[in-house]
Amino acid sequence: MAMHVTAGLRLAGRYELERQLGRGGMGAVWLARDVSLGRAVAVKLVDSDDPAHRRAQGRLRREALAMGSLTHPQVAQVYDYCETDDGAFIVMELIDGESLSVRLSREGRLSAAESVRIAALCAEALDAAHRAGLVHRDVKPSNIMLTGDNAKVVDFGIAASLEPTEATTAFGMFGTVAYLAPERATGATATPASDLYALGVVLYQMLAGHLPFNAEESMAMLYAHTAASPLPMPSDVPPDLVGICLDLLAKDPAARPASAFTVAARLKSASVTTPVPYEMLWLPEPDPVGAEPDPAPARRHRRHRRHSGPSQRHYPQHSELSV
């Protein structure tokens, strides 16, 4: 029989549940107190009342092993994992913040600078996972937690080894359809390039305020990943970031950046400003109020525009992006 989970329940004689923070199809995450160390923790648990929950318990075990092997400031830390006859639970770092999905639902889209900062931190987390031989397989805004100036990638419950094992192929289609790489949509095994594609969707969503494909049904979204071009990005998105997005969203995994490390480096060096249109650099200064227009300066401006390019010293090429 499954355990009755309620506030006040003490797990393993040590972790006292206080309140539920969230719930999914197979279990829940609770705010708890580690009475031994006197600190707040997050406890993710599932019970074993039916076969579906037993499968979820296997995912929980894999998450504990995956996250426990990583020590990185952009990856939520695992403190403990326990299995009992009544169920299993994982004890994790409690992140005091909000998910990127909550932030996007409130603000719609983020500034270029903020989008780059978050995406670069996530790329660093993925680089650590990939170097440890893990593919996340479910990179999406709800699995990115924002806290202060940091961003942490969470929920490695469907992470898979980079080695081609039976578990990898058995769960090859796990993930969220809106962020699923084209090769995964056709049944291929997840690779680091698949995580980079998902990060590209997240970056696009932060910059544009919507997903790169206009599809509401799951099958339509799968088709869009494999065959459709991304929707045009807003005109105020800096060209550097448009280029990074398009590279990450390449249909062919081999055409994407070589690694998450490469992505982080490109993001950190990218310009987050938008070039001023050429015509705007050459508008004549307004005449004083009441003064008669003098056509000569305008003619001189036009001649200058035909025969010489703009001087960066007098006419800045870029202005700060404001969204």
Kindly report, residue by residue over 197-256, the tens digit of the pLDDT.
Answer: 999 999 999 999 999 998 888 899 999 999 999 999 999 999 999 999 999 999 999 999
CB 201 within 8 A of CB 185: no
Residues 294 and 313 in one domain: yes
Active site residue 294: no
The CATH number that applies at residue 27 is 3.30.200.20
Q: Which of 5-9, 15-19, 186-190, 293-297 has the highest mean pLDDT?
A: 15-19
Residues 118 and 217 in one domain: yes
End position of a domain, from candidates 61, 92, 123 = 92
d(Cα 26, Cα 45) in Å, to the nearest integer?
A: 9
Which is it for the CA torsion 8, 11, 14, 19, positive or negative?
Answer: negative
Q: Is 232 part of any domain?
A: yes
CB 128 within 8 A of CB 156: no
Residues 212 and 117 in one domain: yes
End position of a domain, from candidates 92, 109, 143 = 92
Alpha helices in the chain (DSSP H): 51-68, 100-107, 112-131, 166-170, 182-185, 192-208, 218-227, 239-248, 260-269, 295-307
State pLDDT tens for residues 152-202.
998 775 555 444 333 333 333 456 899 999 999 888 988 999 999 999 999
Q: What is the extent of the structural domain holding 121? A: 98-272
The active-site residue out of 138, 155, 195, 240 is: 138
Q: Is 2 part of any domain?
A: no
Residues 233 and 291 in one domain: no
pLDDT (0 to 100) of residue 122: 97
Domain count, the chain: 3
Q: Is 205 part of any domain?
A: yes
Per DSSP, the residues of 162-178 read SS--HHHHHTTT-S-GG
Q: Is 5 part of any domain?
A: no
End position of a domain, from candidates 57, 92, 127 = 92
Q: Is 263 part of any domain?
A: yes
Which is it for the CA torsion 205, 207, 209, 213, positive or negative?
Answer: negative
Structure token pair of residue 315: 């006419």
State pLDDT tens for residues 87-123.
788 898 998 899 999 999 999 999 999 999 999 999 9
Q: Is 4 part of any domain?
A: no
Residues 82 and 199 in one domain: no
Q: Tell me the pTM.
A: 0.76
Structure token pair of residue 237: 């998105």
Q: Exposed, middle or buried, 280 (CB in 10 Å: 0-12/13-18/19+)?
A: exposed
Residues 310 and 193 in one domain: no
Alpha helices in 19-111 (DSSP H): 51-68, 100-107
